[in-house]
């Protein structure tokens, strides 16, 4: 699977812990990763989104 440099970096960041978006985060940056099932996006009551890597996302990393 061909991932962009930004997508690979985001996946690598998620290998250590989930990440909660900031209010101004552009969710389109990682939308493809969510669509491919590499990342899960869980909306929080605060309006932020918590992103976590899936098993498929770990497998996609070298």
Q: What is the DSSP string of 24-45?
A: T--GGGTHHHHHTTSEEEEE-T
Cross-sheet strand order for the sheet of 19-20: 19-20, 49-53, 39-43
User: Please, what is the Cα angle at 36 between 61 and 8, to 5 degrees?
Assistant: 30
Given this model, what pLDDT does residue 22 score? 84
Contact 15, 39 (CB under 8 A): no
- pLDDT band, residue 36 (cuts 50/70/90): very high
Task: Look at residues 15, 7, 6, 9 and name the one whose alpha carbon lies nearest to residue 52.
Answer: 15
Asked if the model's pLDDT at residue 1 lies above 80, the reply is no
pLDDT recorded at residue 62: 83
Domains in the chain with CATH codes: 5-60 (1.10.10.10)
Per residue in 3-26, pLDDT tens? 999 999 999 999 999 999 987 889
Mean of the per-residue pLDDT values for the chain?
93
């Amino acid at each position: 699977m061909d991932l962009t440099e930004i997508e690979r970096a985001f996946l690598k960041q998620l290998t250590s812990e989930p990440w909660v978006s900031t209010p101004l985060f552009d969710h389109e940056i990682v939308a493809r990763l969510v669509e491919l099932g590499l990342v899960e996006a869980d909306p929080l009551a605060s309006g932020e989104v918590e992103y976590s890597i899936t098993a498929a996302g770990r497998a996609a990393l070298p």
